[in-house]
Structure 1
Amino acid sequence: MGFLDLPGLGKAHYHEYGSGSKPMLAFHGYGMTGKQFHVLEKSVLTKYHVYGFDHFFHGESKLSGWAENKITAGMPKTMVKAYVEEWFKKHGRQRFSVMGYSIGANIALLLVEEYADLIDDIILMAPDGLSTYKGFHFLLHQPIGRFFFRQVTKSKWLAPSLLNNLKKTGFIDASLHQIAYNEIDTPQKRQDVYYTLNLIRLLKPDAVKIAGLINQHHINCTLIFGKDDNLFPKTAAEPFINMLDDADVHEVPLGHWLVVKQLDEYLVNLPA
């Protein structure tokens, strides 16, 4: 474990694990920490030494000097480079790989935009960032949606009601509903949802540019989707997939809750 002092942001906490020798910077999904990929012990962790970062408002990472109006304005994309530049200061400038799950994929993809010539592999699981998710776009970029999102996070009953309706209409499944409900059952958790999603609202990768860089630099690209994932399904990512020369794409019998032991077993049993 350790911390990186990210200029203009704060302290980013990271977890180190994995028996492999190849360094990998990893970014988790909402409500988790940088330890999330620990379950991939037979597959990913035998190949890589993972540096799993806690998102801000998660784990031990702490923003410094950011008032609410600055948080809701969003973190500029240029600040993502600080993760790698500060990591280089500790470990030396070298080749590395990246991994991201769900909202964490945005940061992994942005690092490809900036460091494609130094990246060996990218692994994305149920990734955000490859297409525009209309629900998030409405809540984070449309004035009415932003107002509604703020009101939901202040209310004890609006957030549960919204989740129940999303489940009824099939936007989320029962397992994702339960996970999300556990993240909004206190005022602090609701505030953290609001702050987290607003902080990263500007971190939108350029999918066309990234696909070109992956092809140009022959980055090994693995994309994993859940067959029952209604949040970030494979269908939404197909335009990106079709731009890649040689992607390794998998659709596994899981929902959005993808980083689990079953995924590890699936990956380790793939034909060589």
Structure 2
Amino acid sequence: MGFLDLPGLGKAHYHEYGSGAKPLLAFHGYGMTGKQFHVLEQSVLQDYHVYGFDHFFHGESKLTNWTEKQIVNGMPKATVAAYAEEWFKVHGRQRFSVMGYSIGANIALILVELYPDLVDEVILMAPDGLSVYKGFHFLTYQPVGRFLFRQVTKSKWLAPSLLKNLKKINFIDDSLYQIAYNEIDTEQKRQDVYYTLNLIRLLKPDIHKIAQFINQHPIKCRLIFGKHDNLFPRIAAEPFIALLDKPDVHEVALGHWLVVKQLDEYLVNLPR
């Protein structure tokens, strides 16, 4: 474990694990920490030494002297470079790979965009960032959505009621309902949801540029989706997949809750 001092942001905490020699910078999904990928012990961790970063408002990572207005305005995309540059200061400038699950895929993809000549492989699981997710876009960009999002996080009953209604009209399934409900059952959790989604609202990967870099260098690209994922399904990523020369695409019999033992058992049987 360790910390990186990211200029203009704060202290980013990371966890180290894995028996492999190749460095892998990893970014987890909402409500988790950088330890999330520890379950992939038979597959990914055999090949890589993972540096799993806690997102801000998760684990031990802390923003420094940011006001609520700054948080709501969002973290500038250019600041993602600090993750790599500060990591280089500790471990030396070298080639590395990236991995991201769900919202963590945004940072992983932007690092590919910024350092295509240094990235060996990108592993994405149920990734955000490959298309516009209308729900997040509404909550963090549209004036009405931003107002409602703020009001919901301040209320003890609005968030649970909203989730129940979204489930009732099949906008979200039972698994997503359970995941979301567990993240809004206290005032602190609701605030963290609000801050997290607003902080990352500007982290939009340029998928055309990234696909061009992946093909040009070339960078190995593995994409993993849950067959029953209603949040970030494979179909939403098809335009990006179509841009790649040699995509390594997989669908597993899981939902959005993808980083589990069953995934490790699936990956360990794939060619390395």
Residue correspondence of structure 1 range 112-261 to structure 2 within 5 A = 112-261=112-261
Deviations along 1:78-105, whole A, 9 cap, x unmatched? Answer: 0000000000000000000000000000
Counterpart Cα distance in 2 of 1:215 and 1:271: 21
Paired residue secondary structure (2:115): helix
Go from structure 1 to structure 2 and tell me whether the alpha carbon gap of 1:119 and 1:271 turns closer, same or farther (over 3 Å shift).
closer
Partner of 1:51: 51
- Deviation of the 1:178 alpha carbon: 1.1
Paired residue secondary structure (1:30): coil
Alignment-mate amino acid for residue 57 of structure 1: F
- Deviation of the 1:175 alpha carbon: 2.1
Alignment-mate amino acid for residue 121 of structure 2: D
Counterpart Cα distance in 1 of 2:95 and 2:169: 45
| Farther-moved stretch of structure 1 (174-183 vs 33-42) | 174-183
Deviations along 1:54-73, whole A, 9 cap, x unmatched? Answer: 00000000000100000000
Deviations along 1:121-175, whole A, 9 cap, x unmatched? Answer: 0000000000001111010001111001000100111111111122223232222
Paired residue secondary structure (2:55): coil
Count of residue pairs brought into register by the alignment = 272
Partner of 2:61: 61
Alignment-mate amino acid for residue 179 of structure 2: I
Partner of 2:23: 23
Counterpart Cα distance in 2 of 1:107 and 1:171: 26
Partner of 2:79: 79
1:41 aligns with 2:41: yes
Identity of aligned residues (%): 82
Alignment-mate amino acid for residue 31 of structure 2: G
For the 8 Å contact 1:170–1:230, the answer to whether it is kept is: no
Deviations along 1:170-191, whole A, 9 cap, x unmatched? Answer: 2322222112111100101000
Task: Calculate the TM-score normalised by the size of structure 2.
Answer: 0.99
For the 8 Å contact 1:30–1:103, the answer to whether it is kept is: yes
- Deviation of the 1:271 alpha carbon: 5.0
| Farther-moved stretch of structure 1 (170-179 vs 185-194) | 170-179
User: Unaligned stretches of 5+ in structure 1?
Assistant: none
CA RMSD of aligned residues (A): 0.8
Alignment-mate amino acid for residue 141 of structure 2: H
Counterpart Cα distance in 1 of 2:153 and 2:239: 34
1:6 aligns with 2:6: yes
Counterpart Cα distance in 2 of 1:19 and 1:195: 35
| Farther-moved stretch of structure 1 (154-163 vs 43-52) | 154-163
Partner of 1:266: 266
Counterpart Cα distance in 2 of 1:162 and 1:206: 32
| Farther-moved stretch of structure 1 (137-146 vs 163-172) | 163-172
Counterpart Cα distance in 2 of 1:143 and 1:225: 32
For the 8 Å contact 1:171–1:231, the answer to whether it is kept is: no
Counterpart Cα distance in 2 of 1:9 and 1:113: 20
Alignment-mate amino acid for residue 112 of structure 2: V
